[in-house]
Amino acid sequence: MAIPDAAAAAPSLLRRHGACDAGLRAASRGRRCDWGSQVQHSSGARSHIAVSSGGGGQRFVRKRGLEFARIPGGTFWMGSPNALDESPRHQVVLPSFWMGRFPVTNQQYASYLGESPEEQPPKFWDDAARNHPSLPVVGVSWEEARRFAAWAGCRLPSEAEWEYVGRISDAVRERWGIHQLYGRVVQWVEDDWHGSYCAAPCDGTAWVDDPRSALRVVRGTAWFHEPKLARASLRSWDQPLARDDYIGFRVACSEL
């Protein structure tokens, strides 16, 4: 996995944006997509979200030993003008969905293994420093994470869903019941890796190729990353069969 350099020069990025404007607008046709100014919306804080109103208080739902929080739909600006692979910024409109409150733990993964004899244990399953039941499971490839999600009747979150929740303020995220986006494990999402957001979907769905490309997106930060990297737009990649000791995952559902 490679953590991109967030200090790329903005003027260089702006010169490149013009080249993909036509493609962006064509790709966004019919998707309620707004390809706005890269400078006008460049404050970068986790604040560019308009959340649709929802009735009642927050409630959590348990399924297959996992606890889910309902995420209200809304609109946000995805990406950043400060790194090429995080640009161009674009407006995304998401429906409501459900997200796992925490990354999947070793205990939850053990339940899956108990019902899936064909599955191999994670790479670090016998490592006492990593296999406490309450810790996020690591050493699980994207392929394995995806099979776990299917077993749970869910899926991996899309990159847009992950960033949407990541841009919400800590207080609101706490109220929603979402924890450990940053600082524990980097997390697999469904999307294939693309080097920029030119022609990215604007409806919150995962951006996947047909056939699937060679790399998958990971989001968030792990325990060894500097705190300054804990920002919503940070994105990176790994091979779908990689089983690293710092990559975990959480699951999501469109409906429960």
- Does residue 41 register a pLDDT over 80? no
User: Is residue 78 situated within a structural domain?
Assistant: yes
Q: Which domain holds residue 26?
A: 10-253
Q: Are 236 and 228 in contact (CB under 8 A)?
A: no
Residue 53: per-residue pLDDT: 39
CATH of the domain at 191: 3.90.1580.10
User: Is residue 5 situated within a structural domain?
Assistant: no
- Which of 38-52, 187-201, 220-234 is predicted with the least confidence, judged by mean pLDDT? 38-52
Residue 32: per-residue pLDDT: 42
User: Is residue 206 situated within a structural domain?
Assistant: yes
User: Which residues, at least 6 apart from 114, have a Cβ–Cβ distance to it below 8 Å?
Assistant: none
pLDDT band at 20 (very low <50, low <70, confident <90, very high): low
Q: Is 113 exposed, middle or buried (0-12, 13-18, 19+ CB in 10 A)?
A: middle
Q: Are 82 and 8 in contact (CB under 8 A)?
A: yes
Helix (H) or strand (E) holding 75: strand 74-78
Distance CA 36, CA 19 (A): 15
User: Is residue 169 situated within a structural domain?
Assistant: yes
- Does residue 7 register a pLDDT over 90? no
- Average confidence (pLDDT) over 109-126: 97
pLDDT band at 34 (very low <50, low <70, confident <90, very high): low
User: Is residue 112 situated within a structural domain?
Assistant: yes
- Average confidence (pLDDT) over 115-123: 97
pLDDT band at 141 (very low <50, low <70, confident <90, very high): very high
User: Is residue 245 situated within a structural domain?
Assistant: yes
User: Is residue 4 situated within a structural domain?
Assistant: no
User: Which residues, at least 6 apart from 80, have a Cβ–Cβ distance to it below 8 Å?
Assistant: 6, 42, 44, 86, 87, 89, 231, 233
pLDDT band at 152 (very low <50, low <70, confident <90, very high): very high
High-pLDDT (> 70) share of the chain, %: 77
- Does residue 26 register a pLDDT over 70? no
Residue 256: per-residue pLDDT: 87
User: Is residue 1 situated within a structural domain?
Assistant: no
Higher pLDDT, 203 or 53: 203
Count how many domains the chain has.
Answer: 1
pLDDT band at 51 (very low <50, low <70, confident <90, very high): very low
- Does residue 164 register a pLDDT over 90? yes
- Which of 38-52, 201-215, 230-244 is predicted with the least confidence, judged by mean pLDDT? 38-52
